[in-house]
């Protein structure tokens, strides 16, 4: 089983798991809102009763004696328990997605190591390594880092297609809860492209081996599909033109 197939097999259950968690979050949110509404009505009624009792002289205006009923306090405690359950579910959902992201990072690292090992073996035997059909062949004499870079698109594309269903289901379920989970971005995640953002979606590699950025998001460079032949970013195209005019 290939790396992308192994990751796809592991991620197939993710959408259903997230959908169940978000559905439970939605149910808890409805219950919490109902309890809060009932408690507000009860507390307002009790406050009105206290005011009338003080005016009529039946209740002494002593703040130490004025308090809500046990039923009102129990409702507030119940609301706090439901809120804690919502937080726990949100943390579980985040940890689950984060675990798959870390797993994908490990698969990409293993893929790079296997490819480098294969390339070194082929170089020692004097034969050319066999490249996957969706990976562009690099130029002769490219560095090992450049060779790894050319295979990143094929790996990322395979992983993206495997996680597309998960992302769509998670986004739909998240919207239905009327809640936003503020998920932090890993500060160690490398950034790419003119936008200086992390890797996401489909990306294209600049064929200039000296390109400082190397990888670009399709949308940032106006691409909708994999370019045919060699492709250069606008910075490298400008550099090549200036060299020719000299």
- State yes or no: pLDDT of 101 exceeds 60: yes
Tokens of 119: 């390339």
- Residue 136 in domain: no
Q: Which of 84, 107, 124 is the last residue of a domain?
A: 124
- Domain, as residue range, for 219: 189-245
Band the pLDDT of 180: cuts 50, 70, 90: very low
Note the pLDDT tens digit of each residue in 198-234: 887 888 999 998 899 999 988 898 888 888 888 999 8
Split into its structural domains, the chain has a count of 2
Measured CA distances, 98 to 57, 58, 63, 91, 92 (Å): 61, 60, 50, 10, 10
CATH assignment of the domain containing 202: 3.30.40.10
- Residue 176 in domain: no
Note the pLDDT tens digit of each residue in 38-56: 999 999 998 998 888 888 8
* 8 shares its domain with 98: yes
* 6 shares its domain with 119: yes
- Residue 22 in domain: yes
- Residue 30 in domain: yes
Q: Quick one: pLDDT at residue 144? A: 36
Instruction: For the chain, give percent helix, strand, coil, nearest 5.
Output: 65, 5, 30
* 37 shares its domain with 120: yes
- Residue 162 in domain: no
Q: Quick one: pLDDT at residue 106? A: 84
100 carries a ligand binding annotation: no
Highest mean pLDDT: which range of 96-105, 160-169, 210-219 = 210-219
206 carries a ligand binding annotation: yes
Instruction: List, in order, residues 6 or more apart from 204 with CB less than 8 Å away.
Output: 153, 215, 216, 218, 221, 223, 226, 227, 231
Band the pLDDT of 133: cuts 50, 70, 90: very low
Q: Which of 73, 104, 124 is the last residue of a domain?
A: 124
How high is the mean pLDDT of the chain? Answer: 75
- Give mean pLDDT, residues 100-126: 84
More confidently predicted of 80 and 107? 80
C-beta atoms surrounding 26 within 10 Å: 16
C-beta atoms surrounding 124 within 10 Å: 8
Q: 197: which strand partners?
A: 192
* 115 shares its domain with 218: no
195 carries a ligand binding annotation: yes
- State yes or no: pLDDT of 181 exceeds 60: no
Note the pLDDT tens digit of each residue in 18-45: 889 899 999 999 999 999 999 999 999 9
* 94 shares its domain with 199: no
- Residue 89 in domain: yes
Measure the CA–CA gap between 221 and 205, rounded to whole angstroms: 11
Block residue for tokens 């949100």: 90
Q: Quick one: pLDDT at residue 202? A: 85
Q: Which of 105, 124, 143 is the last residue of a domain?
A: 124
- Residue 205 in domain: yes
**What secondary structure letter does DSSP report for 229?**
S
43 carries a ligand binding annotation: no
Measure the CA–CA gap between 120 and 78, rounded to whole angstroms: 63
């Amino acid at each position: 089983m290939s790396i992308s197939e192994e990751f796809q097999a592991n991620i197939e259950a993710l959408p259903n798991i997230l959908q169940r968690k978000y559905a439970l979050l939605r149910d808890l949110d409805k219950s919490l809102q109902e309890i809060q509404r009932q408690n507000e009505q009860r507390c307002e009624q009790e406050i009105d009763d206290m005011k009338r009792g003080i005016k009529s002289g039946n209740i002494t205006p002593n703040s130490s004696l004025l308090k809500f009923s046990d039923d009102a306090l129990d409702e507030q405690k119940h609301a706090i328990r439901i809120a804690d359950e919502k937080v726990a579910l949100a943390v579980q959902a985040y940890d689950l997605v984060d675990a798959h992201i870390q797993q994908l990072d490990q698969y990409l690292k293993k893929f790079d190591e296997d490819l480098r090992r294969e390339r070194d073996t082929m170089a020692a035997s004097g034969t050319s390594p066999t490249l996957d059909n969706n990976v562009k062949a690099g130029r002769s004499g490219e560095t090992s880092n450049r060779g790894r870079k050319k295979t990143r698109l094929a790996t990322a594309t395979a992983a993206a297609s495997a996680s597309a269903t998960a992302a769509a289901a998670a986004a739909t379920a998240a919207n239905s809860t009327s809640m936003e989970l503020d998920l932090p971005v890993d500060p160690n995640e490398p950034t790419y492209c003119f936008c200086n953002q992390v890797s996401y979606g489909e990306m294209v590699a600049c064929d200039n081996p000296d390109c400082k950025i190397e990888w670009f998001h399709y949308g940032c460079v106006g691409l909708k599909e994999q370019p045919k032949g060699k492709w250069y970013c606008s910075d490298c195209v400008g550099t090549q033109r200036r060299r020719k005019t000299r």
